Chains A and B, each alone.
Chain A
Amino acid sequence: MLEFITRRILTAIPTIILISMFVFGLQKLLPGDPVLAMAGEERDPAVIEMLRQKYHLNDPIPQQYLSWIEGVAHGDLGISLRTQEPVTVLIGQKLPVTIQLAIMSIIVAFLIGIPAGVLSAYKKGTWIDWLANGIGLTGLSIPHFWLGIMMILLVSVRLHWLPASGYVSPWVDPVRSFETLLMPSLVLGSGLAAYLMRHTRSAMLGVLKADYVRTARAKGLAEHTVLIKHALRNALVPVVTVATLLFGDLLGGAVLTEQIFTIPGFGKLVVDAVFSRDYAVVQGIVLCTAVGFIAMNLLADVAFRLLNPKTRTS
């Protein structure tokens, strides 16, 4: 297993280097000169030159990349041109908010997606299966941001049940924090639930035909024991793998969800950075999400090997 993990980490390194080169090159080609924006109305040549030197913008591009990647390797993602704060500090401030939203959304997704998938597979061909499939497919077709807007309209504007926007840290007021993130996590989680439901259904359909399930039934075990203990436990192996791969969708969805509900997280940071041409922040965010995604892929591979007896022994 250790050899497998080492090999997977080693193969991830070129990918990370490539993505860093791509992200760096892309940002350098962005329209507009950030230094002109920073220099303000007067555009004093001396100030512009000083800023160019400060941010190494006069160096050749490969050298700029090398100094940037050297900094990255030491945990320095640069300084935000807009707020003058280190990018790592900005990301560090916003990331916990998005992680909280992500965790709550994953819980929602599992609570809806897994039971719906199990039920749909167990009742294959019945109206329950049709209904679950229909809801699942509709869930995949609804854009997060529209669902968010509709929920604000219904739950906040009409019913006044939950706040329409804002965020409170769980360290300040846990109940209020839960309330502010409940609707966003339902919005984000329901889309992921549709994916999980489809994968759980497909995995369960395969497992329910397996010999060991037939044997368990022949032994006279209660149906729910067969379903949960024998079938679901095995069906969950590929589902857990898929769930870790939904990390990308989760982050993409978080960008829009945070915009709608005005949550000061990672997603809002990237949108604000894009509009203010804050190169360093965009670079840092894309790089962090890519590294996070690669780490999730690695985790998925390791989880799959650990959970699947066939690959564990080989």
Chain B
Amino acid sequence: MTAIEQMPEPIALPRTGNRALGKLLSNPSALFGAALVVFFVALAVLAPVLPIQNPTATSWAAVRKAPSAAHWLGTDEIGRDILSRMVWGAQASLLAGVVSVTIAVLLGTPLGVAAGYRRGWTDAVISRMTEALLASPFLIMAIALTAFLGPSLRNAMIAIGLSATPIFIRLARAQTMEVLTMDYVESAHAIGVAPPALIWRYILPNIFPPILVQATLTVATAIIAEASLSFLGLGQQPPAPSWGSMLNVAKNFLDQAPWMALWPGLAIVLVVLGFNLLGDGLRDALDPREG
């Protein structure tokens, strides 16, 4: 019998998962958050097939037109349809949120697990680097990184992802250290389970729930960060639509066309609220201390 076959059973995640799902489904605010997220994801995914106008098509006959039957959300300073730009802008925002958090999780989790598992100088080096990165405010770090990489949506996602990485290093490190003190992990250690198997079978499944919660909440932060960078001209470049860059232009036409500023901001608030509510709901559902 190999060491793997002798390993004590880790926490039965499927049962925990079912219970968590039940709790999540009975939480109205989490459901509302999930509905908002699903709505915006559907908009972003279906953008190419929805019966909307070309988001970059200009019309000098329809400059800064108020919402009407022809243009439900109005038009912008060069006659582009705001509804269509909003729908395509959802793609940029959600893509930025999800891709940057994926970068942060994929970089941060292994480093955090390594620091928490190995301790010693590995931990010292990774922890000092994390503290150094955390020492600079998130947005200022993202601005500096985007400036270094050059302004574009792709680079904004990389910059946001790198800026968010320390959050996941810290979380994974703390969670790993906690899991390592559990009896079943100590038993696995005692019977000589190899570190890769230990990490894969015991540590990663157990640190996954808090990382999932943090990732959901960080998507919200990342969406705001992308909008902020695009607002400053460091994210999505014109004429491609993005909610942040739409607001950057809209601020110059507040008196003549206030609708230009209203819709993109409202969309950011709703999608961020959605991820925040969903993240809070997930935290409550996955937290063993909660009922």
Contact = CB atoms under 8 A, between A and B. Distances in A.
A149 B247 contact: yes
- Chain A interface: which size bin? 35 or more
A152 B135 contact: no
A66 interface: no
Interface string A18-38: 110011001101110000000
Nearest to B124: A14
Contact of A30 (B148, B269, B277): B148
Contacts of A251: 137, 139-140
A27 B148 contact: yes
Contacts of A275: 147, 233
B137 to A, nearest CB: 4
A100 interface: no
Contacts of A248: 136-138
Contact of B228 (A16, A141, A145): A145
Given A141-B220, A141-B272, A293 B144 contact: no
B3 to A, nearest CB: 39
A294 B135 contact: yes
- Chain B interface: which size bin? 35 or more
Contacts of A290: 132, 135-136
Given A15-B131, A289-B137, A152 B144 contact: no
Contacts of B45: none
B289 interface: no
Interface in A251-283: 251-253, 255-256, 259-260, 270-271, 274-275, 277, 282
A200 to B, nearest CB: 17
Interface stretch (B64-72, B173-181, B208-216, B253-261): B253-261
Nearest to A142: B269
A157 interface: yes
A293 B269 CA distance: 28
A30 B128 CA distance: 24
Contact of A18 (B128, B146, B147): B128
Interface string A140-177: 11110110011011000100000000000000000000
Interface of A: 14-16, 18-19, 22-23, 26-27, 29-31, 137-138, 140-143, 145-146, 149-150, 152-153, 157, 247-249, 251-253, 255-256, 259-260, 270-271, 274-275, 277, 282, 285-286, 289-291, 293-294, 297
The 7 closest A-B pairs by CB, nearest first: A252-B139, A146-B265, A248-B137, A18-B132, A274-B147, A141-B273, A141-B272
Interface of B: 128-129, 131-133, 135-141, 143-148, 150, 220, 224, 227-228, 231-234, 247, 250-251, 254-255, 258, 261-262, 264-265, 268-269, 272-273, 276-277, 280
